[in-house]
Amino acid sequence: MSAEKKTVFAVGAHPDDVEFNMAGTLVLLAQAGYEPHMMNVSRSNLDSNELPEEEVVRIRRREAENSAAVIQAVYHPPIADDLMIFYENSLLRRMTAIVREIQPTIVLLPSLTDYMEDHTNTARLVITACFSRAMKHYTSIPPRDPTAQDVYLYHAQPHTNRDGMRNLIVPELFVDISSVMETKLQMLGCHESQRQWLDETQGMDNYLESMRQSSAEVARLNPACSWRYAEGFRQHRHVGFSAEDGNPLADILGDKVHCTRADDSAPRGDA
């Protein structure tokens, strides 16, 4: 990969997870010249109580590919079934292969606290895949050469901005996505099969409006800026991922990013 090439990898557990919580930021990075990559770890084979399982998988795969095509993102196919995303050897080695192939500089990934384990386990897999990217003796599946680029990890908001214990999660980094909300809606709208499923299983009768409301709430959590819509992130600690601490998301997107956390790069007693 060329040293000049910059890549962003957005990963969710299921088709539409990226669209709900990360797609606006992904669009902005693509507009800034980053090559966008998207992946849902699960095939979403359980996303219907009516259709045959393989038909559900086919539909969800097509919808995910259509969403990625909206922004010409590279789509990476799933590697697990619903409720089978575990922090285990085989999935970790497969995720490591993908990270080594993509060589991302920025990774957008789920929150480590959310209402279901598919989401949190996806975050754990991606974290370790990025951490192990440079380990020569850690063999991925399929085998891929280790890479040594700096990578910066940003955890998105949990679903509806609450963790599994109903606590409101306030991000430390806000991204103004007002200018790309229509693209975010277009991407999420590609997941047409989810309208009935989310209504039946999660009481979400209008998933597009639910996403819009969630993005508006994130914007309200940042009273310093009068944005209409925002996505929120918490940045993973840099140790093991980059030579130095930094915040490329803020550097790239400029005034579309507002950080509420003070610089804590100086050594601390608990470091």
Q: So where are the chain's domains?
A: 7-259
| Residue 265 scores a pLDDT above 80 | no
Percentage of the chain lying above the pLDDT 70 cut: 91
Radius of gyration for the chain, computed over Cα atoms and rounded to the nearest angstrom: 18
Alpha helix stretches (DSSP H) within 44-153: 53-70, 89-102, 117-131
Tens digits of residue pLDDT in 197-212: 666 666 555 889 999 9
* Cα–Cα distance, 179 to 255 (Å, whole number): 13
Cα gap 187→65, rounded to integer Å: 10
> Which band of pLDDT confidence, cut at 50, 70 and 90, is reported for residue 271?
very low
Q: State the pLDDT confidence band at 263, using cuts at 50, 70 and 90.
A: low
Give the predicted TM-score (pTM) of the model.
Answer: 0.93
Give the separation between CA 198 and CA 145, rounded to whole angstroms.
40
> Which residues, including other chains, have CB under 8 Å from residue 155's CB and lie 6 or more apart?
109, 110, 111, 112, 123, 233, 234, 235, 236
Q: Residue 106 is inside which H or E element, if any?
A: strand 106-109
Query: What value does the mean pLDDT of the chain take?
Result: 93
CB atoms within 10 A of CB 80: 23
Highest mean pLDDT among 179-183, 222-226, 259-263: 179-183
* Furthest CA-CA distance within the chain: 56
Render the burial of 192-229: b for 16+ CB within 10 Å, e for the rest: ebbeebbeeeeebeebbebbbebbbbbbebbeeeebeb
The conformational region for residue 83 under phi > 0 = left, psi -120 to 50 = alpha, else beta, is left
Distance from C-alpha of 199 to C-alpha of 148, rounded to nearest angstrom = 44
Please state which of the ranges 12-21, 40-49, 192-201 shows the lowest mean pLDDT: 192-201
Q: What is the DSSP string of 194-261?
A: HHHHHHHHH--S-HHHHHHHHHHHHHHT-TTS--S-EEEEEEPP-TTT-SS---HHHHHHGGGEEE-S
Instruction: Give tens-digit pLDDT for 42-61.
Output: 999 998 888 999 999 999 99
Instruction: Please state the length of the chain.
Output: 271
102-121: pLDDT as tens digits: 999 999 999 999 999 999 99
Tell me how many degrees the CA angle 173-271-263 measures, rounded to the nearest 5. Answer: 30
Is there a contact between 180 and 242 (Cβ–Cβ < 8 Å)?
no
pLDDT, residue 270, reads 34
Residue 178 has pLDDT above 80, yes or no: yes
pLDDT given at position 4:
62
pLDDT at 266 over 60: no
Fold of the 7-259 domain? Rossmann fold (3.40.50)
